[in-house]
Structure formats: C-alpha cells, structure tokens
Structure 1
Amino acid sequence: MTSKLAQLLAHYVSSHSPTERWQAGECGVGEFSIDAGGRWYHQGDEIKRLALVKLFASVLCREDGAYRLKTPSETCLVTVDASPFVIVAWHECQIAAQYGVAPTIICEDNLGRFWPICDTFPLYLDDYKGQQIPHLTLNYGLHARIDRNVFYQWVEIAELSEQNDIMLLRSAGKTFELT
C-alpha cells in the first residue's frame, strides 16, 4: 500500500483492537448474534445502545469461518445471519486529492464507521438471498453487505463494460465489479 493511501486510510478507518494477538478461552456470558440488517442481540434481546455495539464491533473478528468477540481474557462465538455490517451510505472523498490519491468512494456502515473502497478494502460479489450482491471487505476477516439503496446509487455512476455486460465502479485508482 502506498504511503499516500495509508494516510487516507488513517484519516477514515476506525481503530480495531488487536484481536489477532489474543488467545483466551471461551466465555459463558450468553448468546450473541447479528441479524441480516446488522442489528446486534444478546440472549435474544436487541442491543440498542450504539456505543455498546461499537465496543463489541471493535473486538469482533472472523477466524476459521467463525465470528468471535475476542478480548485478552475471553472469547465468545457470535452467530451472524448474513454480514455483520451493512453499508448504508457513501460519498465521494473530498480530500483524496490532498493525499495524492485518485477519486475515492467512502462507504459508511450501519455503525457510522467509514471505509474507503480501495485495494485494502475491496468490493467483491457474494450471495445474499439468492442474488449476487456487492460486499465490502473490511479488516479482521470481516465484511459488509452493500445495502440496496447504495447499490442503486452506484449503478447511476458506474460504467457499463460492453464486453461482459457488467457494471464497473472506480475508486482509489482501481476498478471493481458491481454486477
């Protein structure tokens, strides 16, 4: 990653706990789950305090195909219906040029965190309810599904590849498939 892009990422991306360093045993604090809309639950009750959800998100990771909340002292499995996060808004980065980076799309997830679409956080297509839907790769093995309204807004600005009949989205000097 170029140092210019690294500076842009540092401006936008929230910090995450170093879960890869922690190897604690399983905890017994009950069942955690995240539904397809990105809502978090504990013991079947929705966790409505955004600050608490953000705290849990900062220690969420995916390892060996399983989602886990990890701290230095305990690890809890999390059931995820689809994607742990949903991209609900986006904007064109107004400061990318200041960092010497090509025009960049900044995604906002359902927790209000920002993610630039780039080599570090690329788009990819994956199945959601029987359809191929764009998802954004996040850090720590996590990902976010692109919400329908964001997808349709991107279709408006995407380029059609005449060769393959696919929609292409450009961000941070790279091209990503939408369909």
Structure 2
Amino acid sequence: MPYAPPPEMASLSLSDIADLVAQQKLPPVEQWDPQETGDSEMRIASDGGWFHQGDPISRPAMVRAFSTLLRREEDGSFALVTPYQKLAIAVDDVPFVAVEMESSGTGADRKLAFRLNTDHLVLADQEHPLRFPTGTDAPQPYLTVRRGLEAVLARPVYYTLAEMALEDNLEPFGIWSHGTFFAIDAGP
C-alpha cells in the first residue's frame, strides 16, 4: 500500500493525530547489524533538505523512505541502515524539521503534536521531549523524534510555541505537553 501523507493537521483533533502516530510503522533499524558498510554520498542540510552527490533529492516519497532507515550511531554519527547494508550520511544539524504544530488545552492540560518535513507525526511527551539549548545567539529548540534523532522547530513553529508559553505565564517559564513540563530558558 503506498504511503499517504497525513491530512493537514488543522483538520484533525489531537486524538486523531495520536491515532495516526500509533499507526506509523518504522523498520527496526536499531536491531540490524549489517556487515557491508560504506558512504551513501548523501547529506541532510540544516533546513531539512536531502542531497545525493550534491544534488537535491526532489521526490518527497524518496526522502520519506530514506528517513525511515535513518539511525543515530553510538559515536553520534548518522547512517542509513538496512538488514544488508549500513551507509554513512552527513547531517548538518539534525535530520528533521518540525514544520507544523497543533495544540489542544492550556497549562498542564496542553497537548502538542508536530508534523515533520517528512510528514511523520510526533507528540511532545516524556518519550519525545522538547529541549531549548542555551548559549546561542538565536534560540534553536529541538524535539526528540526517536532513538537519538531530533527535529529542529521551524522558526514560525517556535514562535507559536513561545506565544503559547507566554499566554500560560508559568513559573518557571515553559510549556506542558502530554503531562510533561518543558522549561524554556529565557536567556541572560
């Protein structure tokens, strides 16, 4: 059955999104230990664009397929893994970009869901935390996607998230999602 990207998140309830998240089946790349290794000659740019030998991969279905084979290695590097082959892939920052967000509830009852540039859906929760590194000129928030893989929040998504946190006016400053609190450092 061909992959069908999820419908626009705005038309879905958080319950519908949670059902779609549960249906996402990913290959067990963490269980595979192929003997054949090499270089994929691929790179994921910091804006989420995928490249092969310097040329953009323009077919979204190809990017989605490759993204399901992506694994973070113990040394911090990234690889595309099948049962027969493991190929290194260069990643400028993180492999995914959270391009859309839906929210329901407020304060401790808030629930957040994100759509990635690969059309995969992730719920921000204890298993998929948001982190807000400090010490950079511009805030660069991240969402854990799976097993050491993260998504950077696109700037408009982050601004919307920050507006929600300001409206909640919590002390310390931060935001709740699915019963987990994520502190947002307001900086110096």
Q: Same fold (TM over 0.5)?
A: yes
Q: Does 1:52 align with 2:66?
A: no
- Whether 1:73 aligns to 2:84 is yes
Partner of 2:10: none
Q: Could you state the TM-score of these two structures normalised by the residue count of structure 2?
A: 0.77
Secondary structure at 1:126's aligned position in 2?
A: coil
Following TM superposition, by how much is the alpha carbon of 1:131 offset from its aligned partner in structure 2, in angstroms? 3.8
SS at match of 1:111: coil
Q: Secondary structure at the match of 1:133?
A: coil
Number of residue pairs matched? Answer: 163
State the partner residue of 2:48: 38
| Runs of 5+ consecutive residues of structure 1 not aligned to the other structure | 1-7, 95-101
User: Does the CA contact (< 8 Å) of 2:40 and 2:88 recur in 1?
Assistant: no
Task: Give per-residue Cα distances to partners, 1:41-77, cap 9 Å, x unaligned.
Answer: 1111111111111110001010111100000010010
Helix, strand or coil: the match of 1:83? Answer: coil
Question: Is the contact made by 2:40 and 2:89 (CA closer than 8 Å) also made in structure 1?
Answer: no
Corresponding position of 1:126: 133
Give the AA of the match of 1:137.
T
Instruction: Give secondary structure in 2 for the equivalent of 1:153.
Output: helix
Relative to structure 1, the CA distance from residue 93 to residue 173 in structure 2 (aligned partners, 3 Å threshold; closer, same or farther) is same
CA distance in 2, matches of 1:144, 1:48: 20
- The runs of 5 or more residues in structure 2 that have no matched partner are 1-16
Determine if the alignment matches structure 1 residue 172 to structure 2 residue 154.
Answer: no
Shift in alpha-carbon separation, 1:117–1:69, aligned structure 2, 3 A: same
SS in 2 for 1:138: strand
Q: Distance in 2 between matches of 1:46 and 1:36?
A: 13
CA RMSD of aligned residues (A): 2.4
The yes-or-no answer on 1:143 pairing with 2:153 is no
Instruction: Name which of structure 1's ranges 103-112 and 123-132 shifts more when overlaid on structure 2.
Output: 123-132
Aligned partner of residue 181 in structure 2, secondary structure: strand
How much does 1:12 deviate?
Answer: 1.5
TM-score relative to the length of structure 1: 0.81
Does the residue aligned with 1:23 lie in a helix, a strand or coil? coil
- Please give the per-residue CA displacement for 1:77-130, whole angstroms capped at 9, x wherever unaligned: 011001100111101259xxxxxxx54110111111110010111111236965
Classify 1:35/1:18 alpha carbon distance in 2 versus 1 (closer, same or farther; 3 Å). same
1:173 is displaced (CA, Å) by 1.5
CA distance in 2, matches of 1:59, 1:79: 14
Would the aligned equivalents of 1:82 and 1:128 in 2 still touch at CA under 8 Å?
A: no
Separation of aligned partners in 1, 2:135 and 2:48:
14
Per the alignment, residue 157 of structure 1 pairs with: 164
Identity of aligned residues (%): 30
Per the alignment, in what secondary structure is the counterpart of residue 118 of structure 2? coil
